[in-house]
Structure 1
Amino acid sequence: MIIGVGIDVVDIERFGQSLVRTPGLSERLFTPAEAKRQLASLAARFAAKEAVAKALGAPGNLHWHDAEVFSEPSGRPLLELRGTVRARADELGVRSVHLSLSHDAGIASAIVVLEG
């Protein structure tokens, strides 16, 4: 059963400008492992965090580091939920998380599907 679906798109150039303009933003948004990525991948990971929040009903108490995007050796992206994000997912009965990321033509996007 589908519990939630979230999608988000990010203008990569504008996102990069925000990271430069706002000291500490990268550290607030990304785990140390995520922060090592190139700008397009960072924008896609930010889109994934926004998408999972939307799929969870956008409660205001979620922490950015509690949703971490990492990749399998094959390159397949996975979303690890913990802390505040995991608690909300558990509350809704989420058993599986599906994630798709893309970046092309200056736009990064992410889709998250939550299954129970």
Structure 2
Amino acid sequence: MIDPPDIPEGGKVIGVGIDQIEVSRIRDSLDQHGSSFLDKIFTPAEQAYCSDKANPSPHYAARFAAKEAVAKAFGTGFGKEFGWLDAEVTNGPEGEPILGFSEKGRALLLAKG
């Protein structure tokens, strides 16, 4: 699991990102590409959480869209500066989404903020 960043009180918004994806697109990618798709896009913790669900596709889709929104908020998209595995969406005790970053993602967050 990737730990969420420590955000100082009064931290600023560095960007806003929004994304949506059809669950059927994720389901199709899972059917066509299987573990190669999963390993490219989702961390082991995300895969463990989603694969434990009766219908994992909506859970993968939510994480996919959240990661896309983060890349948009950073203004980088996905590439050398920020990759799919540099952000991780997990759930807190009440089911709330928690966003964590790899060291590379954390460095980008600090550089932007």
TM-score, normalisation: structure 1: 0.74
SS of the residue aligned with 1:8? coil
Q: 1:82 aligns with which of 102, 105, 109?
A: 102
**Structure 2 counterpart of 1:66, one-letter code:** D
Higher helix fraction (1 or 2): 2
* Residue 58 (structure 1) aligns with: 76
Q: Report percent identity of matched pairs.
A: 44
TM-score, normalisation: structure 2: 0.75
* Residue 69 (structure 1) aligns with: 89
Aligned pair count reads: 93
Structure 2 regions of 5+ residues with no counterpart?
Answer: 1-11, 51-55
* Residue 20 (structure 1) aligns with: 31
What is the root-mean-square deviation in Å for CA atoms of aligned residues?
1.3
CA distance in 1, matches of 2:20, 2:28: 16
Structure 1 regions of 5+ residues with no counterpart?
Answer: 94-116
Deviation per residue, 1:75-113 (Å, 9 max, x gap): 0101001232212111111xxxxxxxxxxxxxxxxxxxx
Runs of 4+ in 1 over 4 A off after TM superposition: none
Deviation per residue, 1:14-37 (Å, 9 max, x gap): 211012212401111111121131
Higher strand fraction (1 or 2): 1
